[in-house]
Chain A
Amino acid sequence: MTFRSAVITFPGSNCDRDMADALEKVSGTAPHRVWHGDDALPDGLDFIALPGGFSYGDYLRSGAMAARSHIMKAVIEAAGRGVPVLGVCNGFQVLTESGLLPGALMRNAGIRFVCRDVKLTVENNQSLFTSGYTAGQEILIPVAHHDGNYFADDATLDRLEGEGRVAFRYAELVNGSARAIAGVLNAAGNVLGMMPHPERMIEPEQGGTDGRALFESAIQGLVGA
């Protein structure tokens, strides 16, 4: 069965090709490339990816404008039907701004842009996106962001932790995120937002392959091995 995925490109997205490459290399099928101004998504999608970058120049707030673009109405509707949605970096910011995920991503606590490989801990390996990892596994994935400092009120953080919706945590100091949260799932488990870039760690030439299992587990979970 063919894996039908889409990568959404906003003006200012700059990791859309990396994301498309990762999806193609792992699934064997090139994703549809969808422009932010499109009104509709291709039919029958198995997977939607919101890539990293600086959509709309980060004007107003990172991800704020993209979250209100035409295509996001279709993405929100698809997510509501259970279509898996992965948002990485700016894609994560778009997911929180659009209300698909709780919380907000604020300026890094250290003010500086952080661009390096960081250690993450897999907190929940029961989700569609993380079943290829073992619980507690430490993985190395790069980050590259200025606004990755995850914030939510304590009640929301308690709920996220209680419901197993923290997918990844930083295993080192990175950006001041509340409870070192690096990636969160929605209640239904079909939407994952994360600041680190798994699509940049799928081949040895990239310096590591720890991101590959995320795509493999999602693809196998959706269309069978």
Chain B
Amino acid sequence: MKVRVYVSLKNGVLDPQGRAIHHAIEGLGFSGVQDVRAGRLIELDVDDTVTDDALEAMAQQLLANMVIENYRIERVAA
């Protein structure tokens, strides 16, 4: 089974990369973009026996840095 873990910066944490991407978008001539936040998508291929609790633990212990990041876990139907 495929699992997607979306890791994003918490609100209020400054995102220099997002800001640079924002500048680049404007540099290309696009307007109307108010803000850009950059995150990370991690895809896992796991056995069906892997529990939600185990996925939560993986996210909290490694995939996200809970000081600065949030995460969201999504199981993807095969």
Contacts and interface: CB of A to CB of B under 8 A. Distances in A.
A96 B69 CA distance: 14
B16 A109 contact: yes
Given A60-B62, A64-B62, A68-B62, A108 B16 contact: yes
Interface string A114-151: 00000000000000000000000000000000000101
Nearest to A103: B67
Contacts of B16: 106-111, 149, 176
B20 A109 contact: no
Interface residues of B, number: 11
A176 B15 CA distance: 11
Interface string B41-77: 0000000000000000000011101011000000000
A148 to B, nearest CB: 12
B67 A61 contact: no
A107 B67 contact: no
Nearest to B19: A111
Q: Which secondary structure characterizes the binding site on chain A?
A: loop
A152 interface: yes
A111 B20 contact: yes
Interface string A72-101: 000000000000000000000000110000
A111 B65 contact: no
Nearest to B42: A60
B14 A109 contact: yes
Nearest to B62: A68
B24 to A, nearest CB: 11
A106 B62 contact: no
Given A106-B13, A176-B14, A97 B20 contact: no
A74 B50 CA distance: 29
A102 B68 CA distance: 11
Nearest to A175: B16
Contacts of A110: 16
A109 B63 CA distance: 23
In the A-B complex, the 5 residue pairs with the closest CB atoms: A104-B67, A104-B68, A107-B16, A111-B20, A111-B16
Given A60-B63, A64-B62, A111-B17, 4 more contacts: A97-B65, A109-B16, A149-B16, A151-B68
6 contacts: A64-B65, A68-B61, A103-B67, A109-B16, A149-B16, A151-B67
